[in-house]
A and B are shown apart, each in its own frame.
Chain A
Amino acid sequence: MYIAGFRYRGLTMAVPANVLALGMVSLVTDVSSEMVTAVLPYYAVLVLGLSPLAYGLLDGLYFGVTAVVRLAAGHAADRWQRRKLVAGLGYALSAVCKLGLMAAGGSVGLLGAVVAADRTGKGLRTAPRDALISLSAAPETQGQAFGVHRAMDTVGAFLGPLAAFAVLGATGAYDVVFVVSFAIAVFGVVLLVLYVREQPSAVTPVPRVRPRVGLALLREPRFRRICLLAAALGLVTVSDPFVYLLLQKGTGIAPEHFPLLPLGTAAVYLLLAVPVGRLADRWGRIPVFMLGHLALVGVYALLGGGAPYWLVLAMFGLFYAATDGVLMAAAGPLLPAHLRTSGLALLQTGQAVARMLSSIMYGAAWTFFGPVPGLVVMGAGIVACLGFWKVVR
């Protein structure tokens, strides 16, 4: 079950084989999906002739779909105890969508439908995948397991755009990018089928899972508190595009470097995901999750104060490293094994809905009061959440 990784200054990295396999699947799939992400705006505007505004509308289509799909996928995976199958369907759906992009041709409506289906695939696979990671690792090394997975995932996100522009440079044809992306996505599905193992539930026989059982998880006080905390903090989290736009406007970075900003964040996330995950295992995951949000307060302060861009990107990367996988690592062990997918799906959906609302609110605040007052309110909100948590626990 465990493979010994490597020894570094006396630290042993023992990562379950299943976590490494899921990490590889995510790495390969992310290469595929980030290839499309990198070229889709070019394709939509240059080949299909969409204006930026029309592309913006296409962009906003998918969200409601994924929230519902995520909960349904969590329930289905638990009901039949088939996490690998549901995740695999999600990966496969997204793979087929790469060909769908070509089939959509010039139709904006069809293109929107394909993008929505692709996001549906992501909604299907995320919670079952995280449940598999959670069930594959020992309770005391959850932070490390999620750290390793997220680091591998981020490597894929780095390679994707490079691969896309290499293919585009060599052939000059967008459909080749979609075909190569499809082939890589199929390879990811094959890796999943061959190397990822379903984790049997410790309880046998598995109790019947009804839809209401998922929601009843919220009656467990510690899990409920984590859900509330994640949702409350999600409401005061400024979404990524705003952070990068503020950074660009504040520091006057040349627009040709604008697309590189998220890569700076990803680099820091990649470097810190494993060490911070291990730290979370030792110090407690909730305290690290909280500290991660203090880093976000730091990002807001730096953005408001016109700090150098690399410092903002480093803090933002730290925020991701200390919150994304760490939250799953904190919640997983609180959930019974046979309901873990439903629980994680509930937590992720709550957080995602809160972040969508925050994005609408912050957009409105920026429009009517300018960028800085909104940042002050969001930062104060984070500090209030952290203080309130200290009081109630």
Chain B
Amino acid sequence: MRKALILAVTLLVLGGGALFYAVRAARVAPAQEAAFDLAKPGQIVVRDHASGLVRGSRTRCERFATASGTGVCLVTEVAKTYAVVVDRTMKEIRRLHIAGIPSRARVSPSGRMISWTVFVTGDSYNKGGFSTWTGILDNRTGYAITNMEEIPLTKDGRRYFSADVNYWGVTFARDDNRFYATVSTRGRTYLVEGDYGRWQARVLRENAECPSLSPDGRRLVFKKLMPGGAWRLHGLDLATMEETPLAERAAIDDQAAWLDDRTVMYAKGPDVWAVPADGTGSPRLLVANASSPSAVR
């Protein structure tokens, strides 16, 4: 009898406490802003870190990217994930059901090619094992590849075969055909260059993840795993293949985006920071409490 009473009181206290916390923390949607334009030049579009909304809009995204008036919003609705393509007013124009946890999203400079990476974990966190699925959508034809891991890959001049290839972080060039991405296989990561039309890819170099191509198409910025286990941003001149560490010394685990032809921006903690892409200067805070930055040109 006494035990049952203790149990009932415990249930009441714990249940009441949890319910109180839940009600207090339930998300409140901010008011809508009238004139939101994704394509207004000179602005930096970001995702608000606290609310998850694309700042200034009513659209909630886990990852967001935009170029030339087209946006891609990766959104998770109770364990279901979608890639939603939006127009300049954030109106939905296409929705793809994709599986997994949103990790990366990109739109090609013209707004035609849309790519994303999700992360699939099928098991308990005490057992390990993950897989990434990278998809590419041609927004003009509507043709979508949900997992690019079957793309023929060349390494050291030979076709490369392995069951464990994982791709992530695609970035397209201005021609909507050439792209760069990361492939991970047999415990190492590589930078690959791909040809969308011919549907083939080749390994360029080892240890370069989440590439991002500059607006002029001449430089890549990527993160490189350092001996201590932290990722550092590096630049790569595609003409000379010369690699330069950037002035950001902190560990960065994000796919950088280009602010202009000389500067990259990236998430560091809860904020967006910027640093010159040629290794000079020093990092500066660009937008507080934000992530997923895109510069509208």
Show the binding face of A for B, using Cβ within 8 Å: 34, 36-37, 40-42, 45-46, 49-57, 59-60, 62, 106, 115, 119, 122, 165, 167-173, 175-176, 179-180, 182-184, 186-187, 190-191, 194-195, 239-242, 244-245, 248-249, 254-259, 261-262, 359, 366-368, 370-371
Count the A-B residue pairs with Cβ separation under 8 angstroms: how many? Answer: 159
Point out the residue from B52, B99, B103, B131 that lies within 8 Å of A254, measured CB to CB.
Answer: B99
User: How far is A52 from B128 in the complex, measured between Cα atoms in Å?
Assistant: 11
Answer yes or no: B6 CB below 8 A from chain A CBs. yes
Given contacts A45-B119, A170-B22, A171-B22, contact A255 B99 (CB under 8 A): yes
- A171 near B119: Cβ-Cβ < 8 Å: no
- A255 near B147: Cβ-Cβ < 8 Å: yes
How many B residues have CB within 8 A of the partner chain? 63
**Cβ of B62: which chain A residues have Cβ within 8 Å of it?**
46
- A195 near B99: Cβ-Cβ < 8 Å: no
Most central of A180, A195, A239, A261 by chain B CB within 10 Å? A180
Q: Can you identify 20 A-B contacts, CB atoms within 8 angstroms?
A: A41-B101, A42-B101, A45-B102, A45-B119, A46-B76, A50-B253, A52-B119, A52-B132, A55-B121, A62-B126, A165-B79, A169-B78, A184-B14, A240-B123, A241-B128, A244-B123, A259-B121, A367-B186, A367-B187, A368-B186
- A49 near B126: Cβ-Cβ < 8 Å: no
User: How far is A168 from B133 in the complex, measured between Cα atoms in Å?
Assistant: 24
- A367 near B126: Cβ-Cβ < 8 Å: no
Point out the residue from A51, A194, A255, A261 that lies within 8 Å of B103, measured CB to CB.
Answer: A51
- B122 near A241: Cβ-Cβ < 8 Å: yes
User: How far is A186 from B18 in the complex, measured between Cα atoms in Å?
Assistant: 12
**Cβ of B164: which chain A residues have Cβ within 8 Å of it?**
366-367
**Cβ of A240: which chain B residues have Cβ within 8 Å of it?**
123, 127
Interface string of B148-180 (1 = CB under 8 A from A): 000000000000001110101000000000000
User: How far is A242 from B164 in the complex, measured between Cα atoms in Å?
Assistant: 11
Known: A53-B189, A173-B27. 20 other contacts (CB 8 A): A42-B76, A52-B119, A59-B130, A167-B22, A171-B22, A173-B25, A176-B21, A179-B22, A190-B7, A194-B3, A194-B7, A239-B127, A240-B123, A245-B122, A248-B122, A255-B99, A256-B80, A256-B99, A259-B79, A370-B163
Point out the residue from B97, B122, B253 that lies within 8 Å of A244, measured CB to CB.
Answer: B122
User: How far is A194 from B6 in the complex, measured between Cα atoms in Å?
Assistant: 9
Answer yes or no: B45 CB below 8 A from chain A CBs. no
Answer yes or no: B278 CB below 8 A from chain A CBs. no
Answer yes or no: B267 CB below 8 A from chain A CBs. yes
**Cβ of A368: which chain B residues have Cβ within 8 Å of it?**
186
Of all chain A residues, the one with the shortest Cβ separation from B184 is: A53
**Cβ of B147: which chain A residues have Cβ within 8 Å of it?**
255
User: How far is A259 from B80 in the complex, measured between Cα atoms in Å?
Assistant: 11
- B163 near A249: Cβ-Cβ < 8 Å: yes
User: How far is A194 from B123 in the complex, measured between Cα atoms in Å?
Assistant: 33
Q: How far is the CB of A105 from chain B (nearest CB, A)?
A: 9
10 nearest A-B residue pairs (beta carbon) = A241-B129, A256-B99, A255-B99, A183-B14, A169-B78, A52-B119, A183-B18, A172-B27, A258-B122, A41-B121
Answer yes or no: B71 CB below 8 A from chain A CBs. no
Q: Which of B204-227 contact A (CB under 8 A)?
A: 209-210
**Cβ of A56: which chain B residues have Cβ within 8 Å of it?**
128-130
- B162 near A367: Cβ-Cβ < 8 Å: yes
Q: How far is the CB of A182 from chain B (nearest CB, A)?
A: 8
Answer yes or no: B17 CB below 8 A from chain A CBs. yes
- A106 near B3: Cβ-Cβ < 8 Å: no
Point out the residue from A40, A176, A241 that lies within 8 Å of B22, measured CB to CB.
Answer: A176
User: How far is A106 from B269 in the complex, measured between Cα atoms in Å?
Assistant: 7
